[in-house]
Structure 1
């Protein structure tokens, strides 16, 4: 078990499997019925984000597109459990708070060096901690 500091944006505590995106992320380009990424050029194309802790560099898309995408996923239960972002934007921050989705930024550099797809972590956004539970 290893712990990393981060900065709370939207509070909440969740435990789940990590899914890492090297590409910027637009929630509108996820099928709200399945949680599968439908953006063909995206590194997560064909993968499901539902119930995962999504790690990504930036959001992308207009405010309406991002907010609507997150809302549609939440209404169908296909949203990620939590999110860790390197560079948050106002739209993503506001949407996460409204949707009550745990969201953090400013994770320690060691977090990005340690974590890989499929690892299990506890994201304690409320207290600004990420605990690596180990490999799946």
Structure 2
């Protein structure tokens, strides 16, 4: 896949780059992320990665997990989602993780782990650049 540039809606300001980590579906930071290791339940590390997913889900404890990851240096460098819900937004704000929404669902299906990605978020706009 050649370089792709996708305009998104910036929600939490900041810039982040790294390898992509693609999660199909919605992720709950409470129960599906180990805050001690910075890994998903399937063992993949989210530390320093650009997390690409449909969105967040559930528990009000989720923002505290994302904050704990940031305090340990294990948070994702940025998050790009199809749809951002309030719990994910709160966590990204607390952890100072750049967050953007409006990712085309088709792109989510095309991306894979290990691509190079950069997210530039300056609300109300953002730009995701991906190279696979």
Smaller-chain TM-score range? 0.7 to 0.9
CA contact (8 A) 1:8 1:128 kept: yes
Partner of residue 126, structure 2: 128
TM-score when scaled to structure 2? Answer: 0.85
Question: How far 1:109 sits from its partner (Å)?
Answer: 5.3
Query: Which residue of 50, 53, 57 maps to 2:50?
Result: 53
Question: How far 1:23 sits from its partner (Å)?
Answer: 2.9
The equivalences for 1:1-136 within 5 A come to 1-29=3-31, 30-38=33-41, 45-63=42-60, 65-108=61-104, 111-112=107-108, 114-126=110-122, 127-132=125-130, 134-135=131-132
Query: Within 1, Cα distance between the matches of 2:93 and 2:58?
Result: 18
For structure 2, the residue ranges without an aligned partner over 5 or more in a row are none
26-35 or 80-89, which deviates more? 26-35
TM-score when scaled to structure 1? Answer: 0.83
CA RMSD of aligned residues (A): 1.7
Instruction: Count the aligned residue pairs.
Output: 127
**Partner SS, residue 93 of structure 2:** helix
Which protein has the bigger strand share? 2
For structure 1, the residue ranges without an aligned partner over 5 or more in a row are 39-44
Query: Within 2, Cα distance between the matches of 1:11 and 1:76?
Result: 21
